[in-house]
Structure 1
């Protein structure tokens, strides 16, 4: 049966699968988890012989009910594990027959349209406190704790702002790390802090792509070579941007 000949009732399970996969992939879920969730949802909604192919930039899905595969393009990716957990909860309820396809689609649409689980001021505050704690963890003195908080909070704020203004992640991460280095030296000259190296190391930690590296390794171990290599390359570019921004500060100061 051609996809164009499918009625609304037949189209709805397909849209539920694609929407669930899109939300999970955009929110930082691993490739194999996205494919597994889409397969489970398809089985729960009666789509036989379903196949999904997931990469960090797109999802292809097809079942025996469809003659052609459907493609969903992934333009933006972030980290929001709350949305991943909510989609997993919907998947379990579909498997237990506690939800219909229409109800699942409405819930997924609400999740997709909702904002980040945590407000921007809270995220900036958490990044600032974490930066100060990382400064101490990397054997910085207590005099470096407050500068670490200030530099980490300002750097993370710049990262969020630049991500909204510029679509190129490399530029945003490079500029944020550059500003962290500048702020660290300015605070040092103002008499705050003793070791700019410890302050900078602690402040850039919230920018480090830890989730990307973890997902890249897990995807490679699960056999998803394309996704694993692409996520690894993205993590490398992020790490390079952070290092390059700090290197420029060390060069000019």
Structure 2
């Protein structure tokens, strides 16, 4: 009887440990997926963390909107729904660093969970004014890269910054990315048109192209191609559709601004 109870307690301890490993793996995957990592990178990181803690029966299935993690031959399965996605490669880098440290045996499970929780709770790395200023500078640089004139640098600077500010503001009002991207493009198109009519700008096409570049979904497009090449067709096609919808919102936003003015 004592042997049975001891075996039962050991089994319960093992199950608790497996649940803790699953929780940590899912948290790491959630942070990566929410901040712009590729699907295959999310699955690989989760599996590597599990293997580092001698859990070799782990299986993961990741889509852009959810993560399923399971450990075979055990009653351990976790699912998390991903509702908000952004691009914060700093968090992706921090999780990848922790993953390598775990593989090297430098940190234990409890420390890993604490560090992942800290990363998950951390706010945006850059303030809103800095994001607006960076978008404005990038817009000016893109204008010159597309052979625009120096005379149009300031209009592109203003349009790009205003567009980024509008994106942040409207995203707070509505969680629908299409709406915020559309309104941001309307702002850019309107400022570009006004600058031409007042003689402040010369080439409306170059001003618009430079100003909308910070809105272009470069990371989702690149991740979609990588996922498709890696064989994650569901995730790749989903991200392709999302990127296409963003491009459509930008296009009709600029068109609406030019048409109604």
Structure 2 partner of 1:154:
162
Structure 2 partner of 1:87:
95
Aligned partner of 2:181 among 173, 176, 181: 173
Q: 1:233 to 1:179 in 2, by over 3 A?
A: same
Within 5 Å, which residues of 2 pair with 1:219-238?
219-238=227-246
Structure 2 partner of 1:120:
128
**Higher Rg of the two aligned structures:** 2
Q: Is the 8 A contact 1:23 1:112 kept in 2?
A: yes
Secondary structure in structure 2 of the residue aligned to 1:69? strand
Structure 2: 5+ residue stretches without partners: 1-7
Structure 2 partner of 1:55:
63
Residue range with higher mean Cα deviation, 193-202 or 21-30: 193-202
Aligned partner of 2:112 among 84, 92, 104: 104
What's the CA shift for 1:65? 5.8
Structure 1: 5+ residue stretches without partners: none
What's the CA shift for 1:120? 2.1
Structure 2 partner of 1:133:
141
Q: Is the 8 A contact 1:127 1:206 kept in 2?
A: yes
Q: 1:20 to 1:115 in 2, by over 3 A?
A: same
Deviations 1:127-164 (A, max 9, x none): 10010111122221111000000000000111011112
Within 5 Å, which residues of 2 pair with 1:73-84?
73-84=81-92
Residue range with higher mean Cα deviation, 229-238 or 9-18: 9-18
Q: Please, what TM-score do these two structures have when normalized by structure 1?
A: 0.95
Paired with 1:9 and 1:44, the residues of 2 have a C-alpha distance of 13
Q: Is the 8 A contact 1:21 1:38 kept in 2?
A: yes
* Backbone CA RMSD of aligned residues: 1.5
Q: Please, what TM-score do these two structures have when normalized by structure 2?
A: 0.92
Q: 1:104 to 1:68 in 2, by over 3 A?
A: closer
Residue range with higher mean Cα deviation, 122-131 or 27-36: 122-131
